[in-house]
Amino acid sequence: MASTTPFQKFLIYILISIVVSIIALSVILAASGALRKPGNVSGRNGSALSAGENSGVASGAASGADNYDFAVFDGIGTLRLSTCDEEPVPIVLSVYFYYPTDDSLYYEELSTKTRSLKAIVTNYFAGQTKEQLQKRGESTVKAQLKNLLNKELVLGKIDALYFGEYLFFD
């Protein structure tokens, strides 16, 4: 009967370490939600949002119904933008909105059009001065951006747009 050499034992330990690492990584990813299907994307607190939660944050077509669940689409992410001032003013902006969790086709459209949605936001701010943006106010800027983004979308519409960050740097 052949005995194992120290080198073979070393290889067995390496192989066992790799297998244990893969299992541990899978458990961590599953626990953090990174392995969720797109339709199961949830709000910032880790659970799906129902209409009426968070003092009316989830609004729009489902405002009269109690059974609609919404998820946060934050695929546009945090953008570093600049205005069209003579000396451009840098802006940091993070955009998000809610969509129905059971509408996987709309989610797919949002995911595939993320690049063009980012371009719309970038171009909007690139065509404005800091003074124009401040004069309009955040609510008007959100409404104008929402209308521009909705023109790009076919399978659903954004009811309300939210800014996580909206900062000017002088």
pLDDT tops 50 at residue 169: yes
Average pLDDT estimate for 145-166: 94
Q: What is the pTM of this model?
A: 0.61
For the segment 9-40, what is each residue's pLDDT rounded down to a tens digit? 888 888 888 988 888 877 777 766 544 444 44
pLDDT attached to residue 55 = 32
Please list, residue by residue across 65-89, b when 16 or more beta carbons sit within 10 angstroms of its beta carbon and e when fewer do.
eeebbbbbbbbbeeeebebeeeeeb
Q: Cβ of 32: how many Cβ atoms within 10 Å?
A: 10
Q: Are 92 and 39 in contact (CB under 8 A)?
A: no
- 50 phi and psi angles, rounded to 5 deg: -95, 155
- What value does the mean pLDDT of the chain take? 80
Q: Which letter does DSSP use for residue 1 in this model? A: -
- By percentage, how much of the chain surpasses pLDDT 90? 56
pLDDT tens for each residue of 43-91: 433 334 433 333 333 444 444 444 568 899 999 999 999 999 999 999 9
